[in-house]
Amino acid sequence: MFDVEPIIADHKDVIHDVVFDYYGRRMATCSSDQTVKIWDEDGQGKWSVTSSWKAHSGSIWRVSWAHPEFGQVVATCSFDRTASVWEEVIGEKVSSTNAPTRRWVRRTTLVDSRTSVTDVEFAPKYLGLVLATASADGIIRIYEAPDIMNLSQWPVQHEIANKLPLSCLSWNTSTYMVTQLLAAGSDESATPTGKVFIFAYSENARKCVKIETVNDITDPVTDVAFAPNAGRTFHMLAVASKDLYIVNLRGIMDTTGNSKLDIQTVKFSEHNCPVWRVCWNMLATMLISTGDDGCVRLWRMNYNKQWRCAAVLKAEGTGPTYEPAPPTPTLATTASATAKFYKKGTIGNQVPWH
């Protein structure tokens, strides 16, 4: 059962990305209306917009928050072929009693791409303040701010060209066995080849190179997401494609002592239609997938390390209502009688041990 609190986003068009900061206390949204909004949660759990600005001259696809040790920094990427880095600064104090105003200033515009920049994501912080962009021309660019006290300089560190246009990318935050793993996906639909690519830093070549292609996934890919690693000995990548995929990547040493990846792909067809987006929770014990069927699916890993769909959240319905209490109350159903949502069961413990 869920308590649902609607927030009026005040965007003029559909939102493309909703991203939370490290603590879940701030939210950044971006939309086809070319604006970015920053939201803050107050002590009572109410969200309000604290900044809103026109950030690009095209639809804004994605937002990414930098780790808070770099300050309050977000990056955006847009159809207008650019990506930008924004930092929140304290404005002039209006008066001594009021809290100083805060505003977001553009620190840089990354104009290297000649096509739409489809995704942007800050790298895990062990790499420093590093940013990767994916663009429709198939190039991944990795930028780095060498001076964390001055975010106006973002030289390109690596450029990796791919044959297919790219729609999404994701950094792996875990360094178990393999470091600097980066995955990207392509939503190109004409060629029947693998659509998910894995990159890593090569000590020999001294640059980032493509090390694998996930050949099991040949349908267009619209989102990829590496799972946070809470003590696992392998890496998990969720892929949104014609179906939902979870790709397990295991770093192994081959006979010559070189490390390579062992790839295993698991497919979930419950949506019965394309999947657009994927998102992990903090410990990667749950996964959200967005299908074209008007449903969000919540997946949960059971004790057996198997993924099971635990709940479906549907767009349809007449809005939050009460469901009459079931006629023969059992422990579980009596306890769940207060749902604000229309519901057919309860979430939680859906995949018990047995």
Partner 1 sequence: MTDSNVPAFELGDTLAMRCGNTLTGVFVPGSKIALSAFRHVKYNSRDVPTDTANQDPVLIYMAHETTLFDEPVLRSLLAESNATFATLQQLGQKAARVEYVNISRAYRSIVRACLEKLEHEKKSPEVQTDDLRLQRFSEAMVVFYAAECLWHLFEILYIQQNQLVVPQLLEWARFHFPQTEERATDLLLMGEEASESDDYWNVLRSLIMLGEIDITRAILSQNRRASQPAFKTAELALKSMPIYQEGYSLQKFNSQWEYWHMDTERKILSNVFATEPELEQLVQLVVGNNDEWDAGIKASQDWYQYLPGYLLYTKPTCKPFELRIASTNWLNRWSMLRPERILNSMSRMILQLMEHDVRLFIYEAQKISDTNWFSAHLLDLIHNSGILKAYFDQNNVDLPALRHSIIYEYGTFLMSARNLWHLGIDYLDYCKQEGRAAIELLLPRISIRSERQANKLINLAKQRGLLTVEQDICKVLSKRAYDGERYGNALEWAIRSKDVLLVTGIADFILKTYSRTGNMLCPDTIANIGGRMFISPRLVFLSKYFEFYEFYRNRDFLSASELLVNLLESKITPEYFWPSLLIDSMPLLESKDPKIFSKETVAILHHIETELVPIIERNTDKFGEHHTETVFKDYRVENIDEILNLMRLACARNLARAMIIENTMALE
H, E, C per residue of 250-306: EEEECCCCCEEEEEEEEEECCCCCCEEEEEECCCCCEEEEEECCCEEEEEEECCCCC
Q: Which of 134, 162, 161 lies closest to 75, judged by CA? A: 134
Q: At its nearest, how many Å lie between partner 1 and the CB of residue 148?
A: 6
Q: At its nearest, how many Å lie between partner 1 and the CB of residue 137?
A: 10
* Rounded CA separation 93/99 (Å): 7
Residue 9 or 211 having the CB closest to partner 1: 9
Residue 51 or 115 having the CB closest to partner 1: 115
Could you tell me if 36 and 57 are in contact, meaning their C-beta atoms sit under 8 angstroms apart? Answer: no
For 38, the token pair is 């920053």
Q: Read out DSSP for 20-47?
A: E-TTSSEEEEEETTSEEEEEEE-TTS-E
Residue 18 or 177 having the CB closest to partner 1: 18
Contacts of 330 by beta carbon, 8 Å cutoff, 6+ apart: none
* Rounded CA separation 323/126 (Å): 48
Q: At its nearest, how many Å lie between partner 1 and the CB of residue 97?
A: 17
Residue 264 or 342 having the CB closest to partner 1: 342
Q: At its nearest, how many Å lie between partner 1 and the CB of residue 167?
A: 6
Q: Read out DSSP for 119-142?
A: EEEEPPGGG-SEEEEEETTSEEEE
Q: Could you tell me which residues are beta bridge partners of residue 48? A: 40
Q: At its nearest, how many Å lie between partner 1 and the CB of residue 143?
A: 18
Q: At its nearest, how many Å lie between partner 1 and the CB of residue 210?
A: 20
Residue 167 or 180 having the CB closest to partner 1: 167
Residue 57 or 202 having the CB closest to partner 1: 57
* Rounded CA separation 65/75 (Å): 7
Q: At its nearest, how many Å lie between partner 1 and the CB of residue 199?
A: 20
Residue 30 or 212 having the CB closest to partner 1: 30
